[in-house]
Each structure stands twice: as C-alpha cells, then as structure tokens.
Amino acid sequence: MKKRIYAGLAICLLLLLTGCEAKEKQPDNLDNTDATAPFEAVTITPEPEERRLETVWLCADTLDFAMQIPKELTTEPKKEGNLNYVFEGINDSLSVSLQRWDQVSKPDAAALAELITRNNGQKTEIVNCGGRELVKVDWPHGEVNYYLLSEDGDAYVLWITPYVMRDPDVYWKVKQMEESICSIQNVPKGEESVRAEGTSSKELDYYVLIDKKHALPEGWEENLDLVSMVNSVGDTVRAERTAYKAYLELKADLLENEGIDVDLDSAYRSVAYQQEIMDRFTEKYGAAYAKRTVATPGYSEHHTGLALDLYFRLDGVEVYENEDLVKYPEVWKRIHARLADHGFILRYPGRTDGTVDYTYEPWHIRYVGSAEAAKEIMAMPAFSFEDWLAAR
C-alpha cells in the first residue's frame, strides 16, 4: 500500500513540474478517453481493537479433545435418544455440539475420511489441530464439521453452526473456536472448563428372546444405539453398536486365520420395514409361504439389531444369494467354529423338534453379549439358545 502511495505522489509531482510542457506537445487528434486507465479502489479497514471473548474450555477426556467455546454457549452435557449428544450449546447466532456419529472399522483418520465421503458426498480434509488429527468438512452455508475418533473406533462429530450469515462477530467467534482445538494435554492448567465424557452403549438385555411366541420388548427400538455401514454391494446396513464392534473383530479373525472375507447382508430391521417384507412376500408367493419363511412384524430377531446375516466373497466374487450360500458347507463350518470367541452363536441350526422356529440358516448369527455365554450356548445340543435360556 505504501508503494502505491509513494508511486502516486511521484506521478503527481512529475505532472506538476512538467504539465505545461506536456500539454503543448499533445497531438490534436488525441482522444482523452483512450488515455483514461482503470483505477483500483482500495478500502483501508483499520485493525479493530483487541477483542476479548469470555470463554470456557470444552473438554472431552475420553476423546482426547478440547476446544475453547464462548461462555454464553455453556450448557450441561446431555444425551438425546440415538443422537447421543456429549455436549450441545446454542444461542441466537451460533451453536456448538459434539455427538457420537458412527463406528469405523479401522481407527484412523484416513478410514474416517473415506466413510464421511461415502456417507454424505462431501469433500474432506485431514487436519492437525494442536496435536489432534481430525477430519474437517466445510459446508457451503458456513457450517463446519470436525470428525474425531476415540480409541475404540467410535467416531464423533463436532458441529459449529453459525445462524447469522455474514456477521463479522459470529465469523470471528467460529475462527477463534477452530484455532483453539487441541489435545486435552494442551489445555492450560487452571483454565475454567466444562467436562464432557464420551457416551457408551446403552445397557441391553443381550439374552432377549424374540421368536414367533415372544415379541420385541416395548420401547426397544427407541433406545437402540445403532451404527451404519455400507457393504461390498453398496447396501447400507445398520446394527447395534456393541454387536457391530464384535462383528468387526470376527471379520478380522476370519480373514486373518481362515482366509474368509465375510460381509453383512442384513442386520437391524425396523418393525415397519418387516411389515413391508411380509407384504411383498405375501403378494409374490402367497400368505402361507410368507408366514412360513418371514417373521411376523414385531417378532423378528432382526428388530433387536443383534442378529446379523452374513455373506462372503470367494476369489473376489460375492456369494450373496441364499441358494448359493448353502452350497458351501465347509466354508460355513469354519465360520461357525469362530463365532463364540466373539460373542456370537449360530441362531438357527436346523433343529427338527419344534423348539426353533426356522429352518437351517448358516448365515444368521446372533450376538449374546460375551464369549462366555456364546461358548456355553454353542456347547448345547444343536446350539439351542432356547434350551440354554431355559436352563439358566
């Protein structure tokens, strides 16, 4: 800017000194409009006085995450249904929330970024904020998301949402918050803070019995903590969080030790969706067949989020359809041998005494909460979950 000012003064001085002589030498046919060069309008905005924002540190110890937030946004940490808020603060111009988002098969930023892009199609950027590696998403309307991972692979999302667009004060607050993000270890000692612990899976009855005689307990779906994933054929599958973590361990075990690459065909189904399946089968195959092969809505294990249907890949090709899956008994034998180590049982082993509702389904496994319980059940004759529950 100084160079422009000095250059302008020099030109003006030169014109003052030589203006008369230059005017006498101008040709008669000169069009003055051709000599008028465009000029750049420069607005000089004085630096504002140092702003002082009253802040408090938002600290989530279990996530190794900390950030300064305006004190006016401080509220009590809360949980709200499946949203699982760790923290939420709102005023008229700005909101900040930190909530659990999803489960990542590989607990690293690259895998998290890939999952975010696949889920919402947004461009991501892996950033280092004060020693904390996060995945950042900038939305066109001014909202900023930061995604972070806990040690066990749970992904959390930080939402910073301005409600008043083009407000310099709000913009400045957002930037202040972004710049303060750091590891929990970097929070200055003695600073005022609000603590927020990571949420954990809700207590569930992992022994719940759902069959043609036992309906889904009331309120189960409303309190279910679900995560979602996209399988190799592009379908989105949802499962209960703890069961899904156990499945990821089973998947890794099978791939490493058996060379079997399994994936999820189906897991959680809502009661409403089960009704759609029943209607579709009834229309296509008739009521008798539908009743024999499809669980009555409200009476399906898939409502629990604990029942998983598997398929696998052989030589890079998905073996996906039921009629194809049953052609590989030796593969299923190796899969079933490792279920109990990860808390799963083979739910429908094909008993003929009427104690189990459905015919043999090698792909249908059920999470029961622990390896100990699963091993006891798998040691029962015909792996009967019903017999094990009756003997407890």
Q: What would the pLDDT profile of 141-158 be if each residue is shown by its tens digit?
A: 788 999 998 876 788 899
Contact 95, 89 (CB under 8 A): yes
Q: Would you say the C-alpha torsion 381, 384, 390, 392 has a positive or negative sign?
A: positive
Query: How confident is the model over 46-62, as a mean pLDDT?
Result: 69
Of 8-22, 204-218, 295-309, minimum mean pLDDT range = 8-22
Banded model confidence at residue 199, pLDDT cuts 50, 70, 90: low
Domains of the chain are 55-195 (3.40.1000), 221-391 (3.30.1380.10)
Minimum mean pLDDT among 48-52, 300-304, 358-362: which range?
48-52
Instruction: Please give the residue that has the higher pLDDT: either 107 or 391.
Output: 391
- Please say if the pLDDT value at position 120 is more than 90: no
User: How far is residue 48's CA from residue 26's CA, in Å, rounded to a whole number?
Assistant: 48
H-helix or E-strand spanning residue 274: helix 271-285
List all residues 6 or more positions away from 374 whose beta carbon is below 8 Å from its beta carbon: 339, 340, 341, 342, 343, 344, 345, 368
- Cα gap 379→112, rounded to integer Å: 38
Helix (H) or strand (E) holding 98: strand 94-103
Asked if 58 and 196 count as a contact pair (C-beta separation under 8 A), the reply is yes
Q: Residue 220 and residue 206: Cα distance in Å, rounded? A: 12
Q: Given a cut of 80, is residue 316 above it in pLDDT?
A: yes
pLDDT in tens, 345-384: 999 887 655 555 567 899 999 999 999 999 999 998 777 8
For 169-182, the pLDDT digits (tens) are 888 888 889 999 99
Q: Give the model's pLDDT for residue 41.
A: 40
Band (85; pLDDT cuts 50, 70, 90): low
**Residue 271: helix, strand or coil by DSSP?**
helix
The mean pLDDT of the chain is: 81
pLDDT at residue 279 greater than cutoff 70: yes
